[in-house]
Structure 1
Amino acid sequence: MQTVEVAASASENQRRDANVARLVVGREQLLQFGDTSLSDVLKRQPGVSVVGNELRLRGLGNGYTQILLNGDPVAPGFTIDSLSPELIERVEILRSQTADSSAQGIAGSINIVLRKGIHSAQKNGKAGITESGGHWSPQASLELADKFDNGLSYSLNLAVIRSHSGAEPVTSERINDAAGNPAILRAFHEHYQFDTDKISVAPRLVWALPAGDQLAWQNWLDYSRSHMAGANTETTLQGSSSDYPQNDYRFAADILSWRSDLSWMHRFNAGMKLDTRLGGQYNQRNSDYYFDGFPAGISTPFIRNVVSDAIDQNLISSGKLLYRLNELHSLAFGWDGGLIRRSEQRLQYDRNVPDNPAGSAGFLDENYRADVRRLALFAQDEWEFSPRWQAYMGLRWEGLRTVITGRTITETQTRSSVFSPVFQTLWKLPGTEKDQLRFAISRTYKAPETRNLVPRRYTVNNDNNPNNSDFQGNPHLLPELAWGVDVAYEYYFSAQAMFSLAAFLRRIQNVTTYTLFQQDGIWITTPDNRGRAQVYGLEMDSRFPLIFWFSQAPAIDVRINAARNWSRLDSVPGPDNRLNNQVPLTANLGLDYRRSETHTLGMNFNLQTAGRVQGSAVLSTYKSVSRTLDWYSLWKLRKGTQIRLSVSNALHQPVISGQTYFDPETQASMQRTTRTPGQSSVKLVWEQAL
């Protein structure tokens, strides 16, 4: 009988042996389906949900899930899909806090690690094309890496993408009187097209210095140019129309993102090591928005032109001194600080202003600057008491100071600081090599977003109402504070098979909610700190080869995961008073079939529920269930050459979302529902070793 030995992947070993709860998504998983966006990759991971392009743990977004890039919090202007999976080495999903990373992850943290230098030369190229809704999007990428005898190694990853997309959402609006009868019925038919050209490059240099020291210079540059054009036509079925029943718009934006950091690792002796890093991030967005709105029965349009630019700058300094007492016990001390500066200027020009004489004009010149200074000090202790019991203890102090100034706003300053103790332990059960338990308790917080602090009005162009209101920041917002507990049971059947079941609980105070009010006939939404919330849930993850259970089964690997989340906000009446539109359930079923040595194919079915959420006493929202089916087929033609065919969103299910306003005094109500048709995409990629 032939003996076949299969070793566990590096990511599985990291998950099993780490003394902190960490799930690692390796490069093979990142590229498996040929995705062009990172959110499409991570939606298949246990406990991760995606709303729009926002990544969520525990079903919570809007700042509850912290996004890190090489271990540092991303700048405010960062978008997750600006990073191509081709540029990423791995993604780490941390469900509980560690002392050496920022404590701003109440739901958990997702750390994106860019490509590193390698030990052997590589030259790989890819070229592909994607079709979606009749739009064609080409793309190409290049990977170069080598190592020289003098200790210098380098890597260069380049990705170029041209994407074309479009959609035709339909929005219906119904306003009922006190008796529940419809007073106004409207339908809005919108059509828009969105085009983007993007180039991303990530060079890295690493010097291996004498005595084991290392110097590394990591860079990432992303530039995109986008253009959007759309038109909206209103059909008034009953009652009056909106201000501009016929309107169209154009939007253009140039976005430049750059990040660079220099890290130095120095060994003092066999038991002491210093890691330091100095870096910077820069993000600039220049945009031009043009709106034409035609009032009913009037041929002269209302014109609004908004030109704006926003710049985010981030300076980062961090260091960690690791002192290894022995092979089983180590201490670490360090700092983590930075300065984030966001400046924005907005020029708005209105012509033919409503309710003013014909030809009248309005001009608005706004700018503001927000400086956020962050400093953190931490200490941590990692101790392997025995081969079966490991513990991690840490304490982190993190302080924030925010100063906001502007042309049309009063200078405001806020200060906050948080002590964040953390304890995690791993216990491998006696008498077995397969079972282990994890436990963690930590304190985390969520700082207010800069946009929510700036007391500036963001206006809607048409149909201002309770379901489509203006937004205004609140400079008096406080951080949300949380205590959290995580427990998990893990069972490793073999090198390729495992099962885990985890539970979590979060108690949050100073929860940010949104207040709706009317001022001079204009509806406005503003954030505020109100009440407490409890968040809790269960998560299951399992993966195994089918042959593990059935000896005659084909070579199929199975992945199954599911997460059920609950929350309750005490300042909002129930039912459905969930926190921040929390996603209640996410689940994935994945299959990978090795048909032969040269052909592999697989699929993934993703389920994400939503439903009704009572956001305040007068406002509720609704979103439909999302079902997504993706599949891929990979052919290895010869050594170094392969073709990948993939289909995303094969079910092309429509997305339905809505919002309802109920006035308890007049008993009137307003409902607004949008239905966006789903679209599938087909992608073909040629991959070649050069």
Structure 2
Amino acid sequence: MQRVEITGSAAQAQRRNETAGRIIVGRDELLQYGDGALSGALQRLPGVTVSGNEVRMRGLGNGYTQILVNGDPAPPGFTIDSLSPELVERIEILRNATADTSAQAVAGSINIVLRRATSARNDVKAGVEVRRGQMAPNATLQVAGKEGGFAYTVAATAARNHFDNLSHAETADAGPAGVSRRQFDERYGSTVDKASMAPRFEWKGDGDTLVWQSLFDAYRTRSGGHADETTLLGGATASPHVQVVFASHTETLRSDATWTHRLDNDGKLEAKGGIALNRRHGDYLFTGADTERTPWLLRSVLSSASDDSASASGKASVPLGTGHGFGAGWDGAWTRRGETRVQHDGTPQGVTLFDLDQDYTADVRRLALYAQDEWEPVPGLQVYGGLRWEGLDTSITGRGMAKTGVRSSVWSPVAQALWKDGERMRWRMALARTYKAPQTAELVPRRYTVNNDNGPTAPHVQGNPLLRPELAWGIDGGVEYYPAGQGGGVIGVSAYARRVTDVTVRRLYRDGKEWVATPVNEGKASVSGLEFDMKLPPATWAGMAWTWRANAARNWSKLDSVPGPDNRLADQTPLSANLGADVRPGGAWSMGANFTYKGGGALRRSAELDGVTGAERVLDWYALWKPAAGRQLRISVADALAQRRYVMQRYRDEDSSSLRQTWTRGARILRVSFETALP
């Protein structure tokens, strides 16, 4: 990780001259729209889409996209929406794998670099967010300084957010038990209080650098709501009227220290160690009532989850001559996930209907060794070669089950080439083997139950401790044109293809009268796509300075174990695009807007289960006023269109059919913030 302050030209120079071709998005661009969470800023970046809390590249979520924090895999329990953009220095998008980072990057990697000291400036920002008439405050403080070889940055944020889910669902079921049609109107709301702090301390001596960086995060959620059912045909469900109350709190700590030593021959030694702790506790109460609104079921669930990990790594880099460098290293990590769930079902009169007490522990050990070489055999041609071996050892223990485990290892060769055709053209090619390890939560055989209307379109979900990693071979190619040479602006087109084996799919089955879905390894998949990104240098039009940017991605995939058409892998987003512009009308004002499109369409998950997802359209805009140096007022609107989202799922076999359609209302969000430098 280079310790440099990334400006627009420096970020572009790194993209122009690296074989990996990383796209770097600096702090100013991340903060431009005043997003309350990092996911809002990520959805506007080239080749990136966001679905709920899941960040995707190449349209693939579910673990195919690797999330890195300061170059290391994100700790267990980490969520993008828990991180405020104010705590981030920059985002790096890596479409291709490299040997010195984890090969768990079938779709690519997104590296989140936390805030670091670039000046001695201190500032404070306060703001408010308004969503459906509810106001939520937020505040950010940054303190930074330098003295001799010592530098520090402490960034802290605190915020309250309101979320709600207003949805309408319609179901139609037919089978041996008869025919039914129902409507469900649901309204759920939550209040989230979060506080984060990211301190960073750096000391530089005679050829040595020592950095300590941490991230502390606390998250409190209080939720509640109700769902009401209208029966149009047939009988009602067991609980046509539902009340839900939920409270949870999560605490996360990530801390690591890095020592770097510069050698006399311009080589470098680096050692790093870190820990990550995550604790979550939940208290849930479900009240089910009959058609007369008389409560008959009280379901209380106390749950907890812990994700702890420790990691260490070492790396040596040495020059082998002009334009030639070699590096080798290792990294390892240990992760333990523990889960408990105590469920009690009873009646309001105190009669016990069902009790469940679950306790599971999953341990994952990872060790990797790698070597890489980059050189310039002829002027204008850069070549990179790397080899990484990564081994995984997983074991699961729990109450009422025998100890199970899976051990696997992956060899990941990587080859990249960059041809510099003058100052303005860049041609790229890359080949790599990557993999996708099962997420720890997928391995734990805990059953997550649906409270009401369980069926093939709303099944219970249970983990599988025998899951194996998915393996993928991939090839990438692209060309970039820099219209202004070193002055800024880029137009890039790239293509990719992947062949994935041991694909994880959800197998749907019946356990007595209950429908359950569990992940299993089944078959192969082919993935391919085209990507385009453009950022034009500033230009004057109508007396104002304009900057235009656009990106688009078209993705295809085919899952061999599922009959077509529309048998896409991991609910892949088939099409995404962004179009944005910034303008400076003069004086202290600047403003901009961005339109995001995320395509949907038909999707087949199995021979019996298919569905349709509606396209999403999001319009964001902002206005920024800088009345004086170190002061600025920002006004922004997120999701100005407030479009309603549509999802349909359908199950059909020889004996029955089930259809569920859901419409969810969007929400327009107004944000106002004021920032000032401290004396």
> Same fold by TM (over 0.5)?
yes
The answer to whether residue 200 in structure 2 is matched with residue 204 in structure 1 is: yes
> Displacement of 1:204 after TM fit?
0.8
Paired residue type of 1:36: G
Among candidates 201, 224, 227, match of residue 229 of structure 1: 224
How many angstroms does 1:365 deviate by? 1.4
2:351 paired residue number = 359
CA–CA distance in structure 1, aligned partners of residues 342 and 644 of structure 2 = 37
Q: Does residue 687 of structure 1 match 2:679?
A: no
Please tell me the residue identity of whatever aligns with 2:639.
N
1:5-25 CA-to-partner distances (Å, cap 9, x unmatched) read xx9522111111112121111
Query: Are 2:252 and 1:252 equivalent residues in the alignment?
Result: no
Provide runs of 4+ in structure 1 moved above 3 Å. 550-554
Give the partner amino acid of 1:188. Answer: F
Q: Measure the CA separation in 1 of the matches of 2:490 and 2:633.
A: 31
The residue type equivalent to 1:108 in the other structure is G
Number of residue pairs matched?
670
Check whether the contact 1:545–1:555 (CA below 8 A) recurs between aligned residues.
no
Shift of 1:554: 3.3
Judge conservation of contact 2:75–2:254 (CA < 8 Å) in 1: no
Note if contact 2:34-2:634 (Cα within 8 Å) is conserved in structure 1.
yes
Separation in 2, partners of 1:201, 1:546: 35
Residues 79-478 of structure 1 aligned to structure 2 (within 5 Å): 79-118=79-118, 120-149=119-148, 151-176=149-174, 183-209=179-205, 211-297=206-292, 299-352=294-347, 359-429=351-421, 432-478=422-468
SS in 2 for 1:11: helix
1-structure distance, mates of 2:664, 2:137: 25
Q: Please list, as runs of the form range in 1=range in 2, the aligned pairs for 1:33-72 lying within 5 A after superposition.
A: 33-72=33-72
SS in 2 for 1:595: strand
AA at the equivalent of 2:77:
G
Contact 1:259 1:282 in 2 (8 A): yes
What letter is aligned with 2:229?
E
Deviations 1:626-673 (A, max 9, x none): 00000000001111111000010011101111211111x22x321111
Indicate how the Cα distance of structure 1 residues 589 and 298 shifts in structure 2: closer, same or farther if over 3 A, else same. Answer: closer
**What amino acid sits opposite 1:219 in the alignment?**
S
Correspondence for 1:675: 663
Report the more deviating stretch, 415-424 or 15-24: 15-24
Structure 1 equivalent of residue 494 of structure 2: 502
Unaligned 5+ segments in structure 1 are: 1-6
Judged with a 3 Å threshold, the aligned counterparts in structure 2 of structure 1 residues 8 and 89 are, in CA distance, closer, same or farther, namely closer
Distance in 2, matches of 1:225 and 1:84, equals 15
Deviation (angstroms), 1:428: 1.1
Give the alignment of 1:543-554 within 5 angstroms.
543-545=535-537, 547=539, 554=544
Query: Which runs of no fewer than 5 residues in structure 2 stay unpaired?
Result: 1-6
Superposition deviation, residue 521 in structure 1: 1.1
Q: CA deviation at 1:409?
A: 2.2
Q: Determine helix, strand or coil for the equivalent of 1:580.
A: helix
Contact 1:23 / 1:92 at 8 angstroms: preserved in 2?
yes
Residues 1:300 and 1:653: Cα distance change in structure 2 (over 3 Å): closer
Question: What is the SS of the residue equivalent to 1:9?
Answer: helix
In the TM superposition, what are the counterparts of 1:476-625 in structure 2 within 5 Å? Answer: 476-494=466-484, 495-545=487-537, 547=539, 554-625=544-615
The corresponding residue for 1:4 is: none
Residue 16 of structure 2: aligned partner: 16
Over the aligned positions, Cα root-mean-square deviation in angstroms equals: 1.7
1:514 Cα deviation after fit: 1.1
- CA separation in 2, counterparts of 1:566 and 1:502? 14
Offset at residue 551 of structure 1 (A): 7.1
Distance 1:621 1:197 in 2: 35
Which string of whole-angstrom CA distances, capped at 9 and with x for unpartnered residues, describes residues 432-467 of structure 1?
321110000000001112222222222111111111
SS in 2 for 1:169: strand
Which segment drifts farther, 468-477 or 93-102? 468-477
Residue 3 of structure 1 is matched in structure 2 by none
The one-letter code of the counterpart of 1:382 is: E
Question: Aligned-pair distance for 1:570?
Answer: 1.0
Q: Which amino acid aligns with 1:231?
A: H
SS at match of 2:586: coil
Partner SS state of residue 269, structure 1: coil
Distance 2:129 2:520 in 1: 43
Residue type matched to 1:255 in 2? T
In the superposition, relative to structure 1, how do residues 498 and 283 fare at CA in structure 2: closer, same or farther (>3 Å)? Answer: same
Query: Is the partner of 2:13 in helix, strand or coil?
Result: helix
Q: Deviation of residue 686 (structure 1)?
A: 0.3
Distance 2:78 2:477 in 1: 32
8 A Cα contact 2:361 2:444, kept in partner: no
Residue 35 of structure 2 aligns to which amino acid in structure 1?
D
Residue identity in the other structure for 1:646: S
Local SS of the residue matching 2:14: helix
The CA distance in 2 between the partners of 1:279 and 1:309, in whole Å, is 24
Instruction: State the one-letter code of the partner of 1:174.
Output: A
Contact 2:153 2:200 in 1 (8 A): yes
Q: Which residue type is aligned with residue 10 of structure 1?
A: A
Q: 1:152 to 1:390 in 2, by over 3 A?
A: same
Aligned equivalents of 1:152 and 1:496: distance in 2? 33
